[in-house]
Amino acid sequence: LFAAVEMAPRDPILGLNEQFNADTNPAKVNLGVGVYYDDKGKLPLLRCVAEAEALMQAAAKPRGYLPIDGIAAYDKAVQGLVFGADSAVLAEGRVATVQALGGTGGLKIGADFLKRLNPNAQVLISDPSWENHRALFTNAGFAVATYPYYDAAQRGINFEAMLAALQAAAAGTIVVLHACCHNPTGYDLSPAQWSQVVDTVKARGLVAFLDMAYQGFGEGIAEDGAVIQQCLAAGLDFFVSTSFSKSFSLYGERVGALSVVCGSSAEAGKVLSQLKIVIRTNYSNPPTHGAQVVAHVLSTPALRAMWEEELAGMRVRIREMRQALVAELKAAGVSQDLSFVTRQKGMFSYSGLSAAQMQRLRSEFGVYGVDSGRICVAALNSRNLKSVAAAMAAVIKG
């Protein structure tokens, strides 16, 4: 039966974890996957999460099946966070939100629903994008192409080319946009650029699918979600996938959501019914624990304030590591201007290193980053910074 099965390639990001775990180099550093570690190199258990779990444990409940669309209080909390608790679109009942298995799960539910709705649509992702965007939409049955994004020469975004590609896209094209903290480049659009993108999406009849996996890691919770307000103001129907993996440090709990903004509450009801079919036929209904924790924190003022403070702490530490990396690389004798690292937002830095240089970082120095040149700045700390900078300097200098 399986004689013809071929070995699939390793996942370009998660596959690195496997390689990293097998590496016996005691000085190894994992800057591959997008995970935040604290300054001691430890994966944090946020205090707001521990306190919510203690309260939940004290009043432990049996674990029945959840509704197909998840915990109602969780879906409501997600909507408040993404759209603003007193947003008109929520009062009008125009948003269908479902609990999902992480941000990836939200993307997949949306992709499967869109495939039924508009099977011949093309999907456009940024060039480059998170490696899994292409795979996920391709596996959902779509033809996936790219719109220009990264400008290597300018160390930024080729905005004119991006806009021109969107203006040339056929009506109904699904455009996957990174709401904040672009993965992998770290370069985000300015509010004025977003406004042009939103106008183009509207004028061309495109379908915006916003991937918001890093809300709070760029400038702040509201600032990072600003594009959502622009889409609402433009009166778009659009998709938003949410992830709490990073912002709550709940990676393994797979806590995410998909929200679909519709033209009326009647439409939202019908869309929700279709999303539930996608979920039921994939994994039936979602798990309880992580979503309960997030709902608890977001809806309890003291815990929510604690979360916002802890999230700000992660955001600030990442920024400090960006500054420190640039300084250390300079101290290690790198003469190029690397200040672009401090202009990038979120967990990642698109370092500009080639695949060959990234491979050399791994094999000679045990420093693991993605072959695209992406490194996770959120995994740097005061202990590993010097050795990482020395390794990067060595491969940059050749």
- 183 binds ligand LMR per the rule CB under 6 A: yes
Question: In sequence order, what are the beta bridge partners of 257?
Answer: 99, 242
Catalytic residue check, 76: no
- The site that binds ligand LMR (CB under 6 A) totals a number of residues, namely 6
> Omega of the bond prior to 26 within 30 degrees of 0, cis?
no
CB of 337 to ligand LMR, least distance (A): 26
- Which of 29, 31, 34, 94: binder of ligand LMR (CB under 6 A)? 34
Residue 144 or 206: which CB sits closer to ligand LMR? 144
Question: In sequence order, what are the beta bridge partners of 317?
Answer: none
Residue 69 or 286: which CB sits closer to ligand LMR? 286
- Which of 33, 48, 169, 377: binder of ligand LMR (CB under 6 A)? 33
Residue 213 or 231: which CB sits closer to ligand LMR? 213
Catalytic residue check, 194: no
Q: Which of these is catalytic: 108, 112, 130, 371?
A: 130
- 130 binds ligand LMR per the rule CB under 6 A: yes
Give every CB contact of residue 361 below 8 A, 6+ residues apart in sequence: 353, 367, 368, 369, 391, 392, 395
CB of 133 to ligand LMR, least distance (A): 10
CA dist 101 and 258 (Å) reads: 10
Q: What is the CA radius of gyration of the chain?
A: 21
CB of 41 to ligand LMR, least distance (A): 17
Catalytic residue check, 130: yes
- 180 binds ligand LMR per the rule CB under 6 A: no
Residue 15 or 352: which CB sits closer to ligand LMR? 15
Residue 233 or 355: which CB sits closer to ligand LMR? 355
Task: Provide the annotated active-site residues.
Answer: 130, 211, 246
Site residues (CB under 6 A) for ligand LMR?
13, 33-34, 130, 132, 183
